[in-house]
Amino acid sequence: MIYGIGIDLIKIERMKEAADKWGRKFLERIFTESEIKYCYERKEPYLSLAVRFAAKEALIKAIGSEAFVPLTDIEIMNFENGKPLIKAKGKLEEFFREKSIKHCHLSLSHEKEFGIACVVLER
């Protein structure tokens, strides 16, 4: 049974501007250390940061207004085959447990200046 669906679109240049302007302090409010490390090891770090931010926003939309979840409690990772996944921590992990969320499906994509993420939560 589907619990919620969320989608988010982001302009990659906005992430670059924010990261350049506010630096590490900005990044640490949104991303985990693992996410920051992963993104800055990529050829296009701002693209990777942007789609991860979109994934976090899409997840929050899938949850609805039922809970406040800090962005750093949402960690976007990849399986060895490259498929993205969401690792729940802290308040998000509690929320998933309380609502019996068993699967969290994530799809990420990008084209030129935009990144997009879609999340489906399943009980």
Active site residue 105: no
Q: In the chain, count H helices and then E strands.
A: 4, 5
Residue 61 annotated in active site = yes
Q: Which of 107, 119, 110, 118 is nearest to 46 (CA)?
A: 110
Q: Which long-range contacts (CB under 8 A, 24 or more apart) does 42-48 make?
A: 46/12, 46/13, 46/15, 46/16, 46/19, 47/12, 47/110, 47/115
Which residue in 89, 105, 110, 112 is the catalytic one?
A: 110
- Residue ranges of domains in the chain: 2-122
Q: Residue 69 in contact with residue 95, Cβ under 8 Å?
A: yes
Q: Considering 61, 87, 99, 105, which one is annotated as catalytic?
A: 61
Beta carbons within 10 angstroms of residue 52's beta carbon:
28
Q: What is the pLDDT along the chain (123 residues), one digit of tens a residue?
A: 999 999 999 999 999 999 999 999 999 999 999 999 999 999 999 999 999 999 999 999 999 988 899 999 999 999 999 999 999 999 999 999 999 999 999 999 999 999 999 999 999
Residue whose C-alpha is closest to residue 108's, from 81, 73, 84 = 84
- Write the CATH number of the domain with boundaries 2-122: 3.90.470.20
